[in-house]
Amino acid sequence: MLLFNRKSFIKTDRLRTLKKGIGDKRTENQDRSLFGEASQISRRELSKKLKTDEVYNLSRESGLNLNPDERSRIEKELIPKSYGESISKSEFKSNIDKLTKEKLGIEDVRAKEKLKREIEFLKKLGKD
């Protein structure tokens, strides 16, 4: 003799996990993009996002160990102040393309590999 109905137990267990956020696809598939739904981002917001732990984890996935200072250096090299206060997705992508073209002219293998990893990191960061 069963003390509880199996179907009702499964439903209540699933509700508990959804309330906790475990197994919920909405929390697992969050947009890790720099821009999110927006077409542009302010420079201040960009620098704040680059210093977060989530961006650090993205850099680790790309094979880089970038501390916040190195990430801000990349920001300054990639997006100079001449772009103004906000950066659009198209400007971001065009600068990644410029880095890719610059990579072709580099002779040093180590520098080329580091630039390749930075480009991969930036592509993951600005993905759609």
The answer to whether 126 and 39 are in contact (CB under 8 A) is: no
Radius of gyration of the chain (CA): 21
Q: With a threshold of 0.85, does the pTM exceed it? A: no
The string of pLDDT tens digits covering residues 91-120 is: 889 989 999 999 999 999 999 998 898 888
Alpha carbon distance 65, 57 (integer Å) = 9
Of the candidates 79, 75, 97, 95, the residue with the CA atom closest to the CA atom of residue 87: 79
Q: Measured between alpha carbons, how far is residue 21 from residues 26, 29, 32, 98 in Å?
A: 9, 12, 17, 41
Question: What pLDDT does residue 103 have?
Answer: 92
Encoding tokens for residue 123? 């592509």
**Domain segments of the chain as ranges:** 39-125
The string of pLDDT tens digits covering residues 45-57 is: 888 888 888 888 8
Alpha carbon distance 128, 120 (integer Å) = 14
